Amino acid sequence: MNLTKSRFRTIRLNTYILVIVALLVIAFKTGTLEPLFGPDNLTDTVYAVKNNSDLDHDGDVDIDDLAFFSTKWLKADWQTVDWCQFLQQDSKIKTKMGQVLMDFTLDYFKCNGPDPLIVINKNRYPTRLAYGPNGKLFVSDAKIGSVFIYDTGGSLIGEIKGTNHPLGVAVDNTGNIYVGSNGDDTVKVYNSKGEYVKNIGSVGMPNDMLFDKSGNLYVVDSVNNAVKVYDPQGNISKTITARVPIALTIKSSIDANGQEVGELFVAEIKLTRISVFDLNGVYDRSFGEKVTGSSFNWKWQGKFVKLQSLAFDQSGLLHVADCYMNKVQILNPDTGAYINSYGAFGTGSGELNMPLHIAIKYTGQTAVANTGNQRVEIIGGW
């Protein structure tokens, strides 16, 4: 009799324990269990974790969490998904995002129609740069999938979101923004308000682009070994052959007849050299060579390891960024002769770590995509 009652009490106690454990598990998974200790005012990070939105557990809810969710649950690259349509569906998989990540995604892709230039992300992987005619700096971020906009004082004032792996960026005289989409193999055009306008051309890995004085757009096509030129209406006008081009710049002027004359400089990463063409695409000359192991420490001037970017300063000198050497060399554009250099490897002010691009403002400042240090470096101040 007593043994039977004892067994019954044990079974009932075990049942209670199992029920309590099950309730705790459900509470944790659904985010209904409040923390037992910590600050009274929960931070956004704690709130995000409680709602199962910080999927990569780095303390932030951002594009990395969306990429994690897309890979794990949708088996797809996040940049190939129509997220606005996905979030409208009645799907159990959607609930695994957590409410904070759902809200982030709605804002990121402008599903609820907010200001297209509202800033949501941080510029973590500055990739390519361009100054606009009004002095604003435009910075693509291939990892985040955005183009960030800085005013003339260096404040972040806008973000064009949702481009599939943005690379080269350029701004025309009316303020339209052109972004090379590596994921979509095209150039996307946005107006000055950040609203999508159209696509231009078919371009494989559009690493760099710029406008000449006549309004023609020059775009590097690294996949198809070419520089493609589009007229002001967006029609392709010529193709210039180059060996795996990575960057370009133009030195030109307007002659007495109102025609633009000058030269196109193209960094050919495969040949470790800079080739020069006239604006009709006729080859003229090349300079530069690869730094060898024996010459790296004592004779690297005018030589390169991994070319990344070209730009002219106000004196007409050519600046050449090398992401492996962590330097920017200044060369004579006629002969390729070395004149000077700036930058050295490091994390401090003025030091570089994998500089992917440079842009020189009309007032003389040089912006460097200091990618390894996750910042834009301004040489000479804003």
pLDDT digits (tens, 9 = 90+) for 265-293: 999 999 999 999 999 999 999 999 999 87
Residue 343 lies in a domain: yes
Domain limit, last residue, from 108, 135, 154: 108
144 and 22, same structural domain?
A: no
Looking at residue 367, which CATH number applies to its domain?
2.120.10.30
234 and 178, same structural domain?
A: yes
For residue 276, give both structure tokens.
Answer: 């020069």
What pLDDT shows up at residue 121? 81
211 and 134, same structural domain?
A: yes
What pLDDT shows up at residue 79? 87
Residue 120 lies in a domain: no
Q: Which residue range forms the structural domain that includes residue 341?
A: 126-379
285 and 225, same structural domain?
A: yes
130 and 64, same structural domain?
A: no
Number of helices (H) and strands (E) in the chain: give both, helices first: 5, 23
Residue 121 lies in a domain: no
293 and 246, same structural domain?
A: yes
175 and 45, same structural domain?
A: no
pLDDT confidence tier of residue 13, bands split at 50, 70 and 90:
low
Choice between 150 and 10, residue whose per-residue pLDDT is larger: 150
Inter-residue contact 326 to 334 (CB < 8 Å): no
371 and 223, same structural domain?
A: yes
Residue 117 lies in a domain: no
What pLDDT shows up at residue 215? 96
261 and 180, same structural domain?
A: yes
For residue 331, give both structure tokens.
Answer: 């060369």
**Among 26-35, 140-149, 287-296, 319-328, where is mean pLDDT lowest?**
26-35
Domain limit, last residue, from 61, 81, 108: 108
Domain limit, last residue, from 55, 75, 108: 108
- Please determine, for residue 43, whether its predicted confidence score (pLDDT) is greater than 50: no
Q: What is the mean pLDDT of residues 68-78?
A: 92
Q: Strands, E, within 283-344: which ranges?
A: 283-287, 307-312, 318-322, 327-331, 338-342
- Please determine, for residue 28, whether its predicted confidence score (pLDDT) is greater than 50: no
What pLDDT shows up at residue 33? 38
363 and 275, same structural domain?
A: yes
What pLDDT shows up at residue 251? 96
Inter-residue contact 49 to 60 (CB < 8 Å): no
Residue 373 lies in a domain: yes
Look up residue 268 and give its amino acid: E
Residue 240 lies in a domain: yes
306 and 161, same structural domain?
A: yes
- Please determine, for residue 23, whether its predicted confidence score (pLDDT) is greater than 90: no
142 and 20, same structural domain?
A: no
What pLDDT shows up at residue 112? 59
Choice between 280 and 1, residue whose per-residue pLDDT is larger: 280
Residue 67 lies in a domain: yes
Choice between 299 and 279, residue whose per-residue pLDDT is larger: 279
**Which strands form 338-342's sheet, in the order they lie side by side?**
307-312, 318-322, 327-331, 338-342
In this structure, how many other beta carbons lie within 10 angstroms of the beta carbon of residue 145? 23
φ, ψ at 142 (rounded to 5°): -65, -25
Residue 115 lies in a domain: no
What is the C-alpha to C-alpha distance for residues 287 and 329, in angstroms, rounded to an integer? 13
Look up residue 322 and give its amino acid: D
Strand partners, 148: 139, 159
How many structural domains comprise the chain? Answer: 2
In this structure, how many other beta carbons lie within 10 angstroms of the beta carbon of residue 197? 12
Q: What is the mean pLDDT of residues 51-80?
A: 88
**Which strands form 366-370's sheet, in the order they lie side by side?**
355-360, 366-370, 375-379
* 244-270 pLDDT per residue, tens: 999 999 999 998 888 999 999 999 999
What is the C-alpha to C-alpha distance for residues 328 and 319, in angstroms, rounded to an integer? 6
